[in-house]
Each structure stands twice: as structure tokens, then as C-alpha cells.
Homo-oligomer: A and B are copies of this chain.
């Protein structure tokens, strides 16, 4: 069986329809659809994507087998057009255009006027009685063919064209070129072609055609296209090739070409929008050679066609039920439609169009939701860099906290604070990395940039908590604290110099850059309302502070899925007490410190509970290794060194050693910090392990939670605390910790004598917990998947190290398709989650399950969470709108399946 016996490689426009996108590509399917609709579409045919895919296995065979079918379909075009391909008198010219199932830049685009040669250009001139048009078309054809099909640089053709235009005058347009000019240009073009390719410009139209088809196929697998597909997760569909009878917008002043949108693509307003050029071919509009005219002008210039075009636009939008981006050409006063597709739009336009169309009854609510890209929607919530601005990007690093901000570079937290107190409110704190001691500097700044660390570093976590933009791990930048400057390549940024950081993309930019303010319009809220009607998955927020909780409510959180208590410990006024607690050598000293911390913690919880009234609040007990709260070892060593020197001086001058005691104290602190330091802190003494070794900390936290809850309950405010024990890997750990804490909880409730709804549960973030979830569920009333840590352990990747050291290489070498810390690894990590849910629900059918890792705000991971039956996702407040939309999409997609 040969391929030709099996495959139909070519569809005439009259054969296809819009549902054959995968086979005919978007362009081909829509051309067929419009033909079916009876619009004025120049005839043509489409070579299928299937032919393209087989071409990559057996290129010669496919090209050979295509020949007879192409000839047959060309014949049909000749019949319908009354012209003949390669004819000297009445030549049929065609366009050759690629068309993949999904819009994809990087591939070969368009060749127009194919079929012209030295002979037929004469025939065309004679037949149209328009030699200028004929030579202009030939000139364009050679240029496009040379550039697009044969990969001779476009600039080489441009150089020739410009030379001749300059001969006419300084501001000469293409339209000023006369026939003789064009002939000279053609001669020069052909000479260029021969020089570059090594053979003359092909005169055989069939040869031209097959070279063009071959080039379209090949362009599917060029480097740029492959990269684009990888980044955008586009499968290897293959591309179709469309061959269509040419119509000419460059036949004179009664001809034109243009692009229209059925609604405004930048605002979404329901107002037709478009541009056109008279006496021009398609690429002229895009290339911006002349300033195009606005659609409104056409009403006067081509009144009949204007009405006709508006009518077509309405028809196509209704037919496709989406905003359309339409290409058209007017040839000798006749309107031809050359393409329609769903129009690209800004995020805010996307939202407005979707909501308007639901109101207009054009689309269903489900369709409105499906029309949105949740990731793009999230951009509406942050300041962003005006994409039209020309910027000097200094570095491209880890986007740790979203939003863009400009400010002066400041290299130490004290200066930042001082300047902020003086009223400076545009500060970017630049540090090698940040530590708890730097938090006042972070408060004083509008954004933070660090040289080291990853998305879970101190700077990243704190900045996200404060909702400030952050870029971390900028390894291209060398920060020199001493000299208060940073160096990147040859460039030096000094203290006080302006920079801009875009925490959404990870770009560090020189100077001040125009920013676009976020704006939440009514339509956006309406859309989220629609999403809520559809979705079944709960959406909670990760919120550590009352401010976070307010933000979360504003964005529609149904509860708090993760309240991290460690950030409460890091507040500048609390840290010294926390440090005393950690460095305590006796239980008594530790208890004293904890007694001081208790009322603070209680106040934190009190406010959060109050804000979240009636909604569940999941509080995670202290999780990080304690040395994260301690000052840097080298800092204390330095302090000791200074004390020692002062002491020595005092001894030699005054014969006293007044600082002996101080030095001894420092020695103790140093040895304690040393004893707490770990080889692999991520897998060390943290989470519930802390609670087992030092139960007093957890007990204080639980007391604070239940005191706060009981007091509110007494005031008639409904609270639903959920105590979450982190890093559990075995039932026995959970049993041990829970038993201790339940006692504290019950004692507190008894003291206040109130009824209180509460739960005790655990994070599932250790592979062993997932593997033994049936046991864990004996004690846990809820599971919250901590997919950040679960991903770390399942892959054996330390996120901080991986993202700085080898994940970029992995992505580049395509060993990983996505960063598993951003997009949940469904195969490995997801498998553990599925196991855990199955085992857990077997042991406890009413087990509540959620996800509180970063994946809880990522659309594909949210879909997965819905599919495996989680009760809720929890994500940072700013990701909640994304989550609501993605959760609704999951329901709709599953209905379809």
C-alpha cells in the first residue's frame, strides 16, 4: 500500500469546513468554511498537515506523490478562474501560505504572485493593461520567494529597493516607482538571487510552486518553530499549505488591502476596528511602509464595499461566536475575503468581550469562560511594563514575586529605611540575599532584587507575603555591598541609580520604565461570578497576615488554605524574643520567651479569624528549621571579633577586661548557631520534627489559636480553625504531636466554655506520607498537599539549588518540558497525590483534601486537582481569580470529555 492509496493529501476549499482545523490548519479550515458560507473567497486548495508529518519521515516520496494531486487541483483553479498556470498571456497566479492548526510564529509565512516569470509578466501587463501593476507584482514575488522560500535575507532586497527609491527622491514611496524603475529593480533582484543561490531565478511556475511547498513543510521544524512549540506546549501537528488564486490589491486606486477586527482588540469595546491601504498588497499593511487608513475612511472611499465588509464582519463574528481578525483585498472594486480567525486581544479586552458576548446572547457562559487564558488574566492584577516601551534589560532572573516597579537601587536595609522615613517611596533593595535582620529594609522598599537564592528564599517568601515585586537569584549581577553598587557585564549601577524590576517576568531593567497600572473592571468581577457558578472546586488563599486575608477576601477566597506562622515570627520587633526562645538552653528560659510570644500570636490569629468570619482558616504550625530565625554566623563572629579587640585595647590601656562576659555570651551564641546549622536544612529538623523535639513551641501556637478562636466565639463571631501539622511522614509522628496539641486545645476550649468547630490535619508533602496515607488518615481530618516540598522530595530536587544550577539546563536540553515547581508533575508527584487520596478516603471517607503548594494557582495543576477530586485549591491572593476561572474550565472540559 502506498501513501497515496491511503491518504487524501489535498482538499479543495469547497470540500473542507472549520472543524477540520487539525487536518487543514486554521487558515485552510476557515477559508473552506467561508467558501461554504458563500462569501467571496478566491478559489484554492489545501495540502493537509498529514502530508507534512509524513514528509518528515519520507520527504522525497511525499513530494513525488503530491505532484499529480496538485496538478489536478490546479486544473480546477484554472477552470474556475479562466486563467492558466504558467500561461504567457493569461497567467494564473497563486499565493502559497502555511497554516498550522494553532497560530504559530516562526514558520514560513506567505508567498504571493507565484506563477510569474519573465514571460508571463508581459502577458499580465498586456492583459490588465497595467504594466506597472504587472512589474510591481513580479518585483514583489521575486523578493518574497527569495526571502521566504530561499532564505536570502530580506534586507538584501530592501537595500536594492531603497536605492531606487532614493534615486527618485528623499521621501519617495513604493507607489512612486515607475515601470522602468521596477524593471531595473527586477534585474537587480534576479542578479542577487543568482549570486546567493547559485542558479537563476526559477522560471518554471511548477518548480516555483513545489519549492514553496517544500519550504513551508521544512519551516515547521526550524529551530524557532520548535522552540515556540516547546514554550507554548503546542503538539507536533504539522502544518498545512494553502494554495489560492491571487487577487490584487495593488491594481490601482480602485484596489486595496486591509485587516479588520470585529471588536477593539485592545479594549474589547464592541466597535469595529480596522486599517487598509489602497493600491497595495497584503504585506504592505503589516510592514508599515505607508501609514494605513482607518476603517472609517472607507465609508467615503468605497461606500458599497464598506457596507459589504461590515456586513461580512457581523456575519463572521456571529458564525464563529468570537471576535474575528479578518484579512481582505479589494480588486478593481470587488471585495475578497482572504482570511478570518479569532482575533488576538489584550487580557482586559478578552474579559470584556467574553462578558459582552454572554450578555448579547452570542455565546454561553461556558464559552465565555473557555475563551480566557487564566494565566493572562492574572496580569490584570499587577503593574506591568508597557510592552511598547523600548527598554535595556540588564538581566533575566528568577521571577519570585509578580508586578513591576521602578526605584533607586539601595544596597543596605538601614539606608532603605532611613530614606523611606525621609519620604522616598521608590526604593529597590539590592542584596546578595536577605535574612530576617533585613526585614525592615524590605518594608521600606517597593521591590527587592537579590543575587542568590530561589523562589523559596527569604527574600522571595517575604516579598510575596508583602505583595511586593521581587527578583531573586540574579546570578549575572554581582552585588558589591561594600562599595554600594552592582555590576552586570560592563555596566555598573550605583546607589541611587534608577532601575526597574519586573517580578512577573524576572527582567531587571536599567532606569525608569513606563508601567501600566492594573485595573479591575466590572466585567472582570462579572466573569469571576460566572466562573463561580460553574466551578465545584473550592478556592482558598495562602495568607499569612490580616492584610493578606483582606486581599484574599477581595479576590473571592472561600477560606484560608495555608496560614504560615513563621512569617509572624520574623517581624522585626518579635525576632529578638524568637531568637531568645531558640537559643534558650533550659526549658524555663524557653518558656519565658514563649510566654512573651503567645499574646502576639494570639493577636495575629484573632485578626485573621475575624476577617475570615464563617470561613475555614488552616493554620500551619511552625515549619522552617530554627536557624532561619537566627542571625548569620559570620555576623556574630564579627561582633565577637570587635568585642575582643576593644577588650584587648582596654586591657593594655586600663588593665581591665570589661567585656569578658559579653565575649563569653557571644561564644555561647556562636556555638548554639553552629549546633543548629544543618547540611541539608530542607530535610532536617523542621516541621513536625520541631514539635517532637521541642513541643513547647507548638503548644504555644495551639494555645494562641484556640484562645483567639474562643474569644471571638464568645463575641458571636463564627470561626473555623484548622490546625495543620507539617512534614508528617509517619502515623506515629502525627499521633504524638496531635495528642499533645489536642490536650492544649481541649483545655483552652474548656477554659472559655464555648462550642467550637475545629479540625486537626496534616500536610502531605513527604513521599512516605502519601505512600502510607491510609494510616495517616486515621489521625488526620484533612490532607493538604504541600506540592512544593512533595515535588522536591519526589524528584530529589532542592528547589533553590535546582532552579539556580541545573533546571535551566534541563529545560534547555528538553529533559524537562516544564519546571515541575511551576507546573505540577502529574506523572510522578500527581501519582503520589492520587494514591494518597485513594488510601486516605478508604480510611476516612469524609477526609477533606486540598492543595496549598504554589501549584494551587497554576491552571493545568488546578485542572488536575479538580480531576483527582480535591475539595479545594489554595493559592496566593493574586492567583485567586486565575484559580476560579481555571476551576470553572476544569468542569467544562470534563463535561466535553
Q: Which residues does A use to contact B, with CB under 8 Å?
A: 475, 675, 678-685, 689, 692-693, 727, 729-730, 732-733, 736, 765-768, 771-772, 789, 792-798, 800-802, 805-806, 809-810, 813-816, 825, 827-829, 831-832
Closest to A682 in B: B680
Whether B732 contacts A692 by the Cβ 8 Å rule is: no
> Is the beta-carbon distance between A693 and B767 smaller than 8 angstroms?
no
CB distance from A210 to the nearest CB of B (A): 35
* Interfacial chain B residues near A682, Cβ < 8 Å: 679-680, 683, 798
Contact pick for A683, options B772, B797, B832, CB 8 Å: B797
Among residues of B, the one whose C-beta sits closest to the C-beta of A832 is B771
For A475, list chain B residues within 8 Å (CB). Answer: 675
Are the C-beta atoms of A798 and B683 separated by less than 8 Å?
yes
Most chain B CB atoms below 10 A, which of A772, A794, A827: A794
Contacts of A678 in B (CB 8 A): 798, 800-801, 805
User: 22 interchain pairs (CB within 8 A)?
Assistant: A475-B675, A678-B798, A678-B801, A678-B805, A679-B681, A679-B798, A679-B800, A680-B681, A680-B683, A682-B683, A683-B797, A689-B806, A692-B813, A766-B795, A766-B796, A767-B767, A767-B793, A767-B828, A771-B827, A771-B832, A772-B828, A793-B794
Are B771 and A815 neighbours in the complex by a CB distance under 8 Å?
Answer: no
Give the chain B neighbours of A771 by CB distance below 8 A: 794, 827-828, 831-832
Which chain B positions have C-beta within 8 A of A815? 692, 730, 732-733, 736
How many copies the complex holds: the figure is 2
Whether A806 contacts B692 by the Cβ 8 Å rule is yes
Name the residue among A800, A810, A828 with the largest chain B CB count within 10 angstroms. Answer: A828
B795 A729 Cβ-Cβ under 8 A: yes
**B767 in contact with A685 (CB, 8 Å):** no
A684 engages B802 (CB within 8 Å): yes
Chain B residues in 8 Å Cβ range of A766: 794-796
Give chain B nearest CB distance to A499 CB in angstroms. 23
A805, B693: Cβ atoms under 8 Å? yes
Question: Complex: how many Å from CA A829 to CA B767?
Answer: 9
Report A460 CB to chain B, min CB distance, Å: 13
Chain B residues with Cβ below 8 Å from A828 are 729-730, 767-768, 771-772
Give the chain B neighbours of A792 by CB distance below 8 A.
683
Query: Residues of B contacting A829 with CB < 8 Å?
Result: 768
Task: Kindly state the separation between the CA atoms of A681 and B683 in the bound complex, as whole angstroms.
Answer: 11
State A266–B682 Cα separation when bound (angstroms). 49
In the A-B complex, the 6 residue pairs with the closest CB atoms:
A680-B798, A684-B801, A683-B798, A768-B828, A766-B796, A680-B680
Give the distance in Å from the alpha carbon of A768 to the alpha carbon of B683 in the complex.
17
Closest-by-CB residue of B relative to A674 is B452
CA of A693 to CA of B815, assembled, Å: 11
A894 to B310, CA, bound (A): 84
Q: Which residue of B lies closest to A768 (CB)?
A: B828
Query: With A729-B795, A736-B815 in contact, is A772–B827 under 8 Å at CB?
Result: yes
Q: How far is the CB of A774 from chain B (nearest CB, A)?
A: 11
Cβ-defined contact, B802 with A796, below 8 A: no
Q: Which of A766, A771, A796, A809 has the most CB of B within 10 A?
A: A796
Query: Which residue of chain B is the closest to A687 with respect to CB atoms?
Result: B796
Q: Could you tell me the distance in whole angstroms from the C-beta of A527 to the nearest C-beta in chain B?
A: 38
Contact of A809 among B684, B693, B768 (CB under 8 A): B693
Chain B neighbourhood of A809, CB < 8 A? 692-693
Find out whether the CB atom of A692 lies under 8 angstroms from the CB atom of B810: yes
- Most B C-beta atoms less than 10 A away, residue of A793, A825, A832: A793
**How far in angstroms is the closest Cβ of chain B from A13?**
41
Shortest distance from the beta carbon of A668 to any chain B beta carbon, whole Å: 13
Q: CA–CA, A680 to B827, complex, Å?
A: 25
CB distance from A453 to the nearest CB of B (A): 8
Assess the A789–B798 pair: CB atoms within 8 A. no
| A795 and B813 within 8 A (CB) | no
Q: How far is B801's CA from A678's CA once the two chains are assembled, in angstroms?
A: 6
Beyond contacts A730-B828, A767-B832, A768-B828: 9 other A-B pairs, Cβ-Cβ < 8 A, are A678-B805, A679-B801, A680-B798, A683-B797, A730-B816, A732-B816, A766-B795, A767-B793, A771-B827
Verify A684–B831 contact, CB threshold 8 A: no
User: With A and B bound together, what is the CA distance between A825 and B732 in angstroms?
Assistant: 14
Q: Are A729 and B796 in contact (CB under 8 A)?
A: yes
**Residue A680 contacts which of B800, B825, B832 (CB distance < 8 angstroms)?**
B800
Q: Within 8 Å CB of A789, what residues of B?
A: 796
Which of B685, B795, B800 sits near A801, CB closer than 8 Å?
B685
- The docked-state distance in angstroms from the alpha carbon of A792 to that of B683 is 8
Q: Which residues of B contact A689 (CB under 8 A)?
A: 806
Query: Which of chain B's residues have a CB closer than 8 A to the CB of A802?
Result: 683-684
Please give me the residue from chain B that is nearest to A734 by CB atom. B815
CB pair A813 B680 closer than 8 Å: no
Which B-chain residue is minimally distant from A800 (CB atoms)?
B679
Structural contact, A796 and B793, CB atoms closer than 8 A: yes
Shortest beta-carbon distance, A374 to chain B, in Å? Answer: 27
Residue of B nearest to A680 (CB): B798
Bound-state CA distance A832–B730 (Å) is: 15
A849 to chain B, nearest CB (A): 19
Q: Which of A736, A768, A772 is the most central at the interface, judged by chain B CB atoms within 10 Å of its CB?
A: A768
CA–CA, A453 and B692, complex, Å: 22
Q: Report chain B residues within 8 Å CB of A795.
A: 729, 766, 768
Residue of B nearest to A815 (CB): B732
Report the separation of the CA atoms of residues A825 and B731 in the bound assembly, to the nearest whole angstrom: 14
> In the bound complex, what is the Cα–Cα distance between A675 and B451 (angstroms)?
11
- Asked whether, in the complex, the Cβ of A732 is within 8 Å of the Cβ of B814, the reply is yes
Q: Tell me the smallest distance from the CB of A670 to a CB of chain B, in Å.
A: 13
CB contacts (< 8 Å) of A685 on chain B: these are 801, 805-806
What residues of B have a CB within 8 angstroms of the CB of A832 in the complex? Answer: 767, 771
| B-chain residues with CB within 8 Å of residue A816 when the two chains form the complex | 730, 732
Q: Across the interface, do A684 and B798 meet the contact criterion of CB distance under 8 Å?
A: yes
- Docked Cα-Cα span, A304 to B148, in Å, equals 116
Question: With a CB–CB cut-off of 8 A, which chain B residues contact A793?
Answer: 767, 793-794, 796
**With A679-B800, A730-B816, A805-B678 in contact, is A794–B767 under 8 Å at CB?**
yes
Residues of B within 8 A of A683 (CB): 680, 682-683, 792, 796-798, 801-802
CB distance from A26 to the nearest CB of B (A): 30
Residue of B nearest to A733 (CB): B815
* Chain B hits for A727, CB < 8 A: 796
Closest Cβ of chain B to A410, distance in Å, is: 23
**How far is it, in angstroms, between the C-alpha of A475 and the C-alpha of B672 when the chains are bound?**
12
Nearest-neighbour CB distance to chain B for A109, whole angstroms, equals: 32
Do A801 and B681 form a contact, CB below 8 Å, given A771-B794, A796-B789, A816-B730?
A: yes
**In the bound complex, what is the Cα–Cα distance between A230 and B683 (angstroms)?**
26
Chain B residues whose CB sits within 8 angstroms of the CB of A831 once the complex forms: 771-772
Task: With CB as the reference atom, state the residue of chain B lying closest to A775.
Answer: B827
User: Smallest Cβ distance from A802 to chain B, in angstroms?
Assistant: 7
Chain B positions within 8 Å of A679 at CB level: 681-682, 798, 800-801
Residues of B within 8 A of A768 (CB): 794-796, 825, 828-829
Q: For the complex, what is the distance from the CA of A730 to the CA of B765, rounded to whole Å? A: 20
Give Cα A768 to B796, complex, Å: 8
Whose C-beta in chain B lies nearest to the C-beta of A732? B815
Q: How far is the CB of A738 from chain B (nearest CB, A)?
A: 12
How far, in whole Å, are A810 and B685 apart by their CA atoms in the complex? 12
Least CB distance, A576 to chain B, in whole angstroms: 24
CA distance A681 to B732 in the complex (A): 29
> Which residues in B have their C-beta under 8 angstroms from that of A805?
678, 684-685, 693
CB of A60 to closest CB in B, whole Å: 27
CA distance A848 to B515 in the complex (A): 60
Q: What residue in chain B is nearest A802 (Cβ atoms)? A: B684
Tell me which residues across on chain B come within 8 A of A684, comparing CB atoms. Answer: 798, 801-802, 805
| Cβ–Cβ contact A806 & B693, under 8 A | yes
User: Which B residue's beta carbon lies closest to that of A456?
Assistant: B679
Taken together as a complex, chains A and B put the C-alpha atoms of A693 and B801 apart, in Å, by 13
Cα separation A798 to B796 with both chains bound (whole Å): 11
CB distance from A675 to the nearest CB of B (A): 8
Residue of B nearest to A797 (CB): B683
A728 closest partner in B (C-beta): B796
| A853, chain B: closest CB distance, angstroms | 14
